[in-house]
Amino acid sequence: MENTQALGSKPRCQFISKIGARCHADPQTGKDYCFFHDPEQKKKQAEARRQGGEARSRQAEPEITLPPDLPVIPLWRAADVYELLAQTVNHLRRGQMDLRATRNICYLASLLLRAMKQEAQEVIDLIADTINQFLRGQMDLRTSKAIGNAAALMLTALKQDAAEQEAAIADDAIQSVEAIGRTTAAHAHAPRHDSPEPRTAATAATTILPANPRAPHAPHPAVTNTATTINPTRPEARQA
């Protein structure tokens, strides 16, 4: 190991920052770097930070108060939600449940009613299961809140999807009506070949046929018949 420090001085971490500053922490035994600057310790450093953060969170957030041995509540109808909230109020008034737990139950119950209104069965099952696990101490406060936030976004997404589908259906209907209108207008302006042409004075003169003229000197048939009847040729008269 290259020793750039003065003879007899205490060894320091060999890490140098981007601005040229050297770390003054003690190096690990047999290594050139301290724990925080050791490239081989990155995973251990991340795990240490995570554990430290969880420990601080547990210290900053005290345990919630819940009634012991609560049964699983079937949350299938709005009446079930009403019963849940009535029990929650009673637990709070008796000191068996603190304010944080009460607020969390009310928040999850409001989401459950919203899911029932939208008929989102998967979200209903998710929230109902979360409420029961929280009341029985099987789920902590932070996790139940996170699930509630996710459920709220899921309901928003379902509502937006329904609105988009309705808009698409309405747009298709409008396009169909417009297409029918264009087709009707095209038929109205197209020439009809089966309709008769308008009659003019010239065509009327050529289509009206004159009456057949009689022969100028031919007697009417009635006159001929009358003459034959009145003056028959009688052979008896000739003999007389």
- pLDDT tens readout for residues 98-131: 999 999 999 999 999 999 999 999 999 999 999 9
Same domain, 56 and 82: no
**pLDDT per position as a tens digit, 69-87:** 888 999 999 999 999 999 9
pTM, rounded to two decimals:
0.51
Instruction: Specify the pLDDT at position 57.
Output: 55
Which residues form the domain of 115? 78-162
Same domain, 84 and 52: no
Name the nearest CA neighbour of 114 among 148, 147, 164, 145: 148
User: In whole angstroms, what is the distance from residue 41 CA to residue 25 CA?
Assistant: 15
Query: What's the token pair of residue 6?
Result: 């003065």
Instruction: Evaluate whether residue 108 is within a structural domain.
Output: yes
DSSP 8-state assignment for residue 194: T
Q: State the amino acid at position 195 in one-letter form.
A: S
Extract long-range pairs of 96-99: CB within 8 Å, 24+ residues apart.
96/65, 96/66, 96/67, 97/65, 97/66, 97/67, 98/64, 98/65
Instruction: Evaluate whether residue 46 is within a structural domain.
Output: yes
